[in-house]
Structure 1
């Protein structure tokens, strides 16, 4: 049984073949121009789905990396301020201890008291430190509120009759630095400056500021004796304040160390995701260019063949 092929069938078949080859050349050329094997999902549906998953996971990892960088900055600033507080307290302690020497005159103790007053101002300034965005470091969640201000109370000072009032809260700020970990990036001023703990972990009943101001007032008192309970208590409170700052700072240091490990892991994951995307998307240029040349030759042959075929007619042979 013979099959008849009409002129229309020849025309449709020829144009269809040419259009298919043109589409293939266009796709290959797009891949070469972009350097990517998958330009549109139809190029590789399964591969495109995998690219989407990896890209989304990569984007989440980038957010974690940004949070890690922010956390590093915040904890680094906190550590620096705590270091400054520790240095001021050490100077205050050394001067207060020296002033307990029985050979000191009233005027010499008064001079030490003046120096301690200046260092106390420095402590208050450090306690009211702000970060690079203008937010107060030690205000807890009330980061736009100045945490410490001079009270109107009279000495002797204690937590129930504080020298400095605290306007922040006990909130601890945190950032999610990995899929499974939130990292605390702040310490409330109440923990560092107000609720000072002794070596046994007990709250002394006086703030850091109370301790220093009580010592200043004692040294200003004519005939003050280092054997008095007032001096012993004030010096002990200053010692407890130093220990308390060291403890808080050690906690910040451990968080920085943990954050470094988390950041290193996130950086490794970033490289892994980049490699996965490269394996899925990157184009084999040598193979692609060879395919482009091959398809162009096929297209030229098809167009030439179609041109000749479309001119055929029985009338040419009559």
Structure 2
């Protein structure tokens, strides 16, 4: 077959260009450490690489969400723990104030510290995170969630609870709205509350009581009324007498599955109430105690009323502490769940990285060997072209 000079020349050039392209590609692979430079290099591998890259990005987002969640939950846990410490101090002050040796002046001094502790609680409830967001405001994180008004303490946030996705099928709340942490706490003993009529003239004091029969307990309201210093009757919410008995100082008075104790001398007309527990904010609980201690009591009946108010406050504080401890436990459970998910994410990240490496990473030993072969092939093509280019018919004449 006859081959023209131009065709021979073109074949030589194309051979060199092909070898140069192969060499350039291998050189780029070695420089980047990647064996897939374009989808056409390995269509199946390219698709797999894209899938793994997307999975890697999702896992990295889960990790970022997890770090944010961990930070916010640990801050919330710290605030709730500090609030429990404050309430523990409030309880200690309550017990101290309930001592018969306390004077009006000493109780007012205790009330002064109570108000300082109340300020601490309010400050904790209005805590901001590192981004300046109020952590107990729900979705209204740009505004202070708690404030004091003439009518009491007000929650300005909402009940929103943001969920952060920390795994393919796992989301966790990054906090709790203040309405669930500092508000809506059942007062009294958690089932019912007791109280003394401010108009009582005797010096008897009622305790917080307890539920003795859940089968009979149906959240009814009752009034214990003394018909004389030695006799009392129990009335229901409609004013009907449901029982009556001789008064025994410190003895049990049972009604509706509940039992209370009244201690001290009572007077005819004295009344004590037993009513269902109501939801209350913990700030008002401490405030009520401070107000009681700030009010001078100069009569036996006045001091008895104050003792009943202190007993009520102690029961309220116990309920508030239990409430916060339960919240603290819930936060701890979330942190444990997050820790387990973080370990799962770390394992997934490692597996994805290994698979990406198998798909994308270059085998340097093979690539360098191939580079040397391609370099030799290019040199051979260049030498062959040089010799062919030098051929002429005149060399044989």
Q: Same fold by TM-score, threshold 0.5 exceeded?
A: yes
User: Which residue of the partner structure matches residue 173 of structure 2?
Assistant: 184
In 2, distance between residues paired with 1:6 and 1:166?
Answer: 95
> Against the structure 1 CA distance between its residues 35 and 241, is the aligned structure 2 distance closer, same or farther, given a 3 Å change threshold?
same
User: Which residue of the partner structure matches residue 165 of structure 1?
Assistant: 154
Q: In structure 2, the residue corresponding to 1:225 is in which secondary structure?
A: helix
Whether 1:213 and 2:287 are equivalent positions in the alignment is yes
Deviation at 1:227, TM superposition (A): 7.1
Q: How do 1:249-260 and structure 2 match up within 5 A?
A: 249-260=328-339
In 2, distance between residues paired with 1:201 and 1:10?
Answer: 103
Is 1:117–1:213's contact at 8 Å kept on the other side of the alignment? yes
In 1, distance between residues paired with 2:304 and 2:119?
Answer: 25
In 2, distance between residues paired with 1:191 and 1:273?
Answer: 40
Deviation at 1:138, TM superposition (A): 1.0
In 2, distance between residues paired with 1:12 and 1:246?
Answer: 86
User: Which residue of the partner structure matches residue 344 of structure 2?
Assistant: 265
Whether 1:34 and 2:44 are equivalent positions in the alignment is no
Runs (5+) with no aligned partner, structure 1: 154-162
In 1, distance between residues paired with 2:19 and 2:139?
Answer: 65
1:117-157, Cα deviation, whole Å (9 max, x unpaired): 1111111111111111111111111111111111113xxxx
User: Which residue of the partner structure matches residue 372 of structure 2?
Assistant: 293
Deviation at 1:201, TM superposition (A): 7.7
1:257-289, Cα deviation, whole Å (9 max, x unpaired): 100111111111111111111111222222211
Deviation at 1:178, TM superposition (A): 1.3
User: Which residue of the partner structure matches residue 9 of structure 1?
Assistant: 7
Whether 1:78 and 2:157 are equivalent positions in the alignment is no
Moved more, 201-210 or 39-48: 201-210
Deviation at 1:308, TM superposition (A): 1.1
1:144-195, Cα deviation, whole Å (9 max, x unpaired): 1111111113xxxxxxxxx211111111122111121221011111111120
> Against the structure 1 CA distance between its residues 200 and 212, is the aligned structure 2 distance closer, same or farther, given a 3 Å change threshold?
closer
User: Which residue of the partner structure matches residue 157 of structure 1?
Assistant: none
In 2, distance between residues paired with 1:312 and 1:22?
Answer: 24
TM (norm. structure 2) is 0.74
Of 365, 381, 389, the match for 1:310: 389
User: Which residue of the partner structure matches residue 49 of structure 1?
Assistant: 47
Q: In structure 2, the residue corresponding to 1:176 is in which secondary structure?
A: strand
In 2, distance between residues paired with 1:123 and 1:178?
Answer: 35
Q: In structure 2, the residue corresponding to 1:137 is in which secondary structure?
A: coil
Deviation at 1:311, TM superposition (A): 2.5
> Against the structure 1 CA distance between its residues 77 and 201, is the aligned structure 2 distance closer, same or farther, given a 3 Å change threshold?
farther
In 2, distance between residues paired with 1:146 and 1:45?
Answer: 56
Is 2:98–2:307's contact at 8 Å kept on the other side of the alignment? no
User: Which residue of the partner structure matches residue 163 of structure 2?
Assistant: 174
Larger helix proportion of the pair: 1
In 2, distance between residues paired with 1:83 and 1:204?
Answer: 24
Is 1:74–1:186's contact at 8 Å kept on the other side of the alignment? yes
Q: How many residues align structurally?
A: 307
Q: How do 1:111-126 and structure 2 match up within 5 A?
A: 111-126=109-124
Moved more, 57-66 or 233-242: 233-242
> Against the structure 1 CA distance between its residues 200 and 218, is the aligned structure 2 distance closer, same or farther, given a 3 Å change threshold?
closer
Q: In structure 1, the residue corresponding to 2:182 is in which secondary structure?
A: helix
User: Which residue of the partner structure matches residue 237 of structure 1?
Assistant: 316
Q: In structure 1, the residue corresponding to 2:26 is in which secondary structure?
A: helix
Larger strand proportion of the pair: 2
Is 2:19–2:378's contact at 8 Å kept on the other side of the alignment? yes
In 1, distance between residues paired with 2:191 and 2:134?
Answer: 27
Deviation at 1:87, TM superposition (A): 0.4
